[in-house]
Amino acid sequence: MSEIVLVHGIAQEQYSADLLESRWMPALAGAVRLAGYPELADEMWRQQRPGSIEARMAFYGNAFLEAGAQGGPASVELDTNELDLAERLAEAWLRAAAERAADPADRAEADRQLAILADTTAQPQGAGAALRPAINALTRLNWFAPGGYSLASRFVVRALGQVTRYFTDPQVREFAQQRVLEHIGPETRLVIAHSLGSVVTYEALHRTTQPVALITAGSPLGLHSIIYPRLRPSPPGVPPTVTSWDNLADRDDIIATTLDLAPLFRTSDRGVAPGVTLVDNGAEPHSALNYLAKGQIGKLAAAALT
């Protein structure tokens, strides 16, 4: 149990809780320092070491890597039942890229790929294209391919597979939420969740009575056609024990398809509704570290911890 609980997002299965803590906490402490709270920053992280404020990473990435922990193999290969959901998610990200990608070439390519998808007479090209045209189209965007097409293909399939698996495999869903809940106790004051972790955290916080402040970053919670209607409980509302909820979003982050979550989530009995804070993460709009290093999140974290 800890004062700060951190929850990672997609494609972190090759790491560990300890490694991610050692990356996230210096970034967050630096953000708190930027916000004007140097003493609090020292309590969080100083001279390459953790401070007196306890922080723990809720690590569920191994749900997508190891067999056995959740009752079976955890491959992110898409089966027939998952493929439809992954395709629709890929198309939603394509539409977000067409509207908001910072790179004009990506916007143009996303428009072109969406036109091809809409043309039922168009013939798919390349191995596997007939099976998953939207997924293949997504890998053509520079946003997903800073390391080249082959790496983009692996990342896209992994990312789509993990989001899809969370909603289609009850064991994975429960495993991920339990990793969050096991770190929340009487000392916990703040939960920070990135990307898919915000979905895991949102659902987990409906299962605890501990009052906490919530910060989400790069969150896909507002994705209407795929994620939002699958949230539990339904209709979606602010978890009753959340004392504040601030959502950080970069306009160029196409994973965070909806920037302002307030219209989508019912205000809690505490009067809490999601707030939105826009940031600029530069060339890596979805980066967890870029979100964590901003003075805006430092100010929010300081408010929760003081």
Question: Along the 306 residues of the chain, how does pLDDT read in single tens digits?
Answer: 799 999 999 989 999 999 999 999 999 999 999 999 999 999 999 877 787 999 999 999 999 875 444 444 344 456 666 788 888 888 999 999 999 888 899 999 999 999 998 876 555 554 444 457 888 888 888 887 655 545 556 678 778 889 999 999 999 999 999 999 999 999 999 999 999 999 999 999 999 999 999 999 999 999 987 899 999 999 999 999 999 999 999 999 999 989 999 999 999 999 999 999 999 999 899 999 999 999 999 999 999 998
Same domain flag for 194 and 281? yes
DSSP string, 186-239: TT--EEEEETHHHHHHHHHHTT----EEEEEES--TT-TTTTGGG-SSSS-B--
In a domain, 73, yes or no: no
Task: Report the largest interatomic distance among the alpha carbons of the chain, rounded to a whole angstrom.
Answer: 63
Run of H or E including 104: helix 104-118
**CA–CA separation, 68 vs 271, rounded Å?**
42
- Start-to-end Cα distance in the chain: 18
In a domain, 200, yes or no: yes
CB atoms within 10 A of CB 33: 20
Of 67, 81, 83, nearest in space to 172 by CA:
67
pLDDT for res 233: 94
Same domain flag for 145 and 177? no
In a domain, 128, yes or no: yes
Phi, psi of 279 (to 5 degrees): -130, 165
In a domain, 204, yes or no: yes
Same domain flag for 239 and 299? yes
| CATH number of domain containing 291 | 3.40.50
- Collapsing DSSP to helix, strand or coil, 266 comes out as strand
Domain end, chosen from 143, 165, 187, is at: 165
Amino acid at position 149, single letter: Y
In a domain, 72, yes or no: no
Run of H or E including 278: strand 275-279
Domain end, chosen from 165, 192, 224, is at: 165
Provide the pairing of β-strand 212-217 with 190-194.
parallel
Same domain flag for 11 and 58? yes
Same domain flag for 244 and 107? no
Asked if 259 and 268 touch (Cβ cutoff 8 Å), the reply is no
Kindly list the strands in the beta sheet with 55-58, ordered across the sheet, starting from the edge strand earlier in the chain: 55-58, 4-7, 190-194, 212-217, 242-250, 275-279
pLDDT for res 72: 40
Domains of the chain: total? 2
What residues make up the domain containing 174?
A: 4-65+169-305
Domain end, chosen from 150, 165, 180, is at: 165
In a domain, 92, yes or no: yes
Burial string for 83-92 (b: 16+ CB within 10 Å, else e) reads bebbbbbbbb
Run of H or E including 194: strand 190-194
